[in-house]
Amino acid sequence: MLPSVKLLIAGGFGVGKTTAVGAVSEITPLRTEEQLSEAGVGIDDLTGIEQKTATTVAMDFGRITVPEAVLMLFGTPGQERFWFMWDDLLRGALGAVVLVDTRRLERSFAAVDFFEHRRLPFVVAANCFFKQQRFTPEQIREALALKDPETPIVLFDAREEDSVRDVLLALMDHLIAIAERGQTARV
């Protein structure tokens, strides 16, 4: 069996995650569900209320088979507050793509914060509607207040297979650069 490589496609609601997964996946994207027990998320005091609320979250799943591996794409659920109680979401992930819509940049802040906090390498991909993007990558970098100056920012079209593939290639370049730096550091 080919090794599997897990990549996360994240971003806020309505930024094009499902579209992007569908554009590059070799299968029609699937929806995978998970049930999380929401024990006191966002609530300070639950004394006397031991009841847990179960929440169902859904992910988009797609894949790309290359000679070396199967790239598995997981479009993360829109409700980021659940990510913190879902360790399996990040476990084993090689990297992530954070999709942003520059008209609603704030919707992707949570994803950026989350991956920076968990130290998962990611690239930022700004969706261009009708090939239009009013902002430059540098302006987007500043607006997102990215901590790592090396985090790549690419402009793309979530509906175009080649364009989404380029985003994944940018992520691979980023991962290779990090691995090279790590090797230098160890020498």
Partner 1 sequence: MSGERGTRRTRTFALTAAMADGQRPEGITMHSTVRTVADPKSARHIPEEWQRILALCTGSGLAVAEVSARIGMRLTPTVDLLRELVAHGLVEHSAPLTEADASNIEFLRRLRRGLERG
Shortest Å distance, C-beta 47 to partner 1: 28
Shortest Å distance, C-beta 34 to partner 1: 4
Shortest Å distance, C-beta 28 to partner 1: 10
Shortest Å distance, C-beta 159 to partner 1: 18
Residue 154 or 172 with smaller CB distance to partner 1:
172
Residue 35 or 47 with smaller CB distance to partner 1:
35
Residue 30 or 39 with smaller CB distance to partner 1:
30
Give the pair of three-digit tokens for residue 154: 């690419």
Containing 49, the helix (H) or strand (E) segment is none
Residue 107 or 174 with smaller CB distance to partner 1:
174
Residue 142 or 162 with smaller CB distance to partner 1:
162
Give the pair of three-digit tokens for residue 107: 């919707």
Shortest Å distance, C-beta 22 to partner 1: 14
Cross-strand pairs, 71: 5, 64
CA atoms of 113 and 28, how far apart (whole Å): 30
The residues that touch partner 1, with contacts defined as CB under 8 A, are 1-6, 27, 30-35, 56, 59, 61, 63-64, 66-72, 74, 88, 91-92, 94, 165, 168-169, 172-173, 175-176, 178-180, 182-183
CA atoms of 43 and 93, how far apart (whole Å): 29
- C-alpha distances (whole Å) from 27 to each of 31, 61, 74, 125, 153 are 12, 9, 13, 22, 27
Residues 6+ away with beta carbon under 8 Å from 79 = 55, 57
